[in-house]
Amino acid sequence: MHSDSADVQKSIRTYLMVGAALFVFTGITVAVNRLQLAIPAAITVALLIATFKGSMVASIFMHLSHEKKWIYGALILTAVFFVFLLFVPLFTTMDTIGHPNPSQTMVPGAEHAMEH
């Protein structure tokens, strides 16, 4: 692989800028933690910061910004499948929402059998 000096300098500059941005976002994470936000807000802010940091690492250090378009299709498919898997427990219990669980209900008179 042949690279000229200008390409190498540009790559180094990009790595340093992303490294500095990651350092800044880490500082923002620590600062937000000291704000004592409500739990839902704290989780939302933490996930947003982590998303920015993760996307920078993936696009620059893992070289996804230079990949072919098909890699994005595979990445999107993986993300969609992951979100689907998160909701599988909800889909499998949807017909029992609001109904008592039969395994947790007592049969009338069964409390006497349990005492003996």
The reply to whether 71 and 21 lie within a common domain is no
The reply to whether 72 and 58 lie within a common domain is no
What's the domain range around 74? Answer: 67-94
Here the tokens at position 13 are 């500059």
- The pLDDT, as a whole number, for residue 105 is 59
Domain count for the chain: 2
The reply to whether 51 and 25 lie within a common domain is yes
On whether residue 101 sits in a domain, the answer given is no
Helix axes 39-56, 5-33, angle to 10 degrees: 170
On whether residue 104 sits in a domain, the answer given is no
11-65, pLDDT tens digit by residue? 899 999 999 999 999 999 999 989 988 988 888 999 999 999 998 998 888 877 7
Q: How far is CA 79 from CA 61, 63, 83, in A?
A: 20, 19, 6
Model confidence pTM above 0.85: no
- The pLDDT, as a whole number, for residue 80 is 94
**Cβ atoms within 10 A of the Cβ of 23, count?**
10
Residue pair 33/76 in contact by the 8 Å Cβ criterion: no
On whether residue 56 sits in a domain, the answer given is yes
On whether residue 54 sits in a domain, the answer given is yes
On whether residue 116 sits in a domain, the answer given is no
**What is the rounded CA–CA span in Å between residue 34 and residue 114?**
52
Higher pLDDT, 2 or 22: 22
The reply to whether 3 and 55 lie within a common domain is yes
The reply to whether 9 and 32 lie within a common domain is yes
**What is the rounded CA–CA span in Å between residue 18 and residue 61?**
9
84-115, pLDDT tens digit by residue? 998 888 777 767 766 666 666 556 665 555 55
On whether residue 115 sits in a domain, the answer given is no
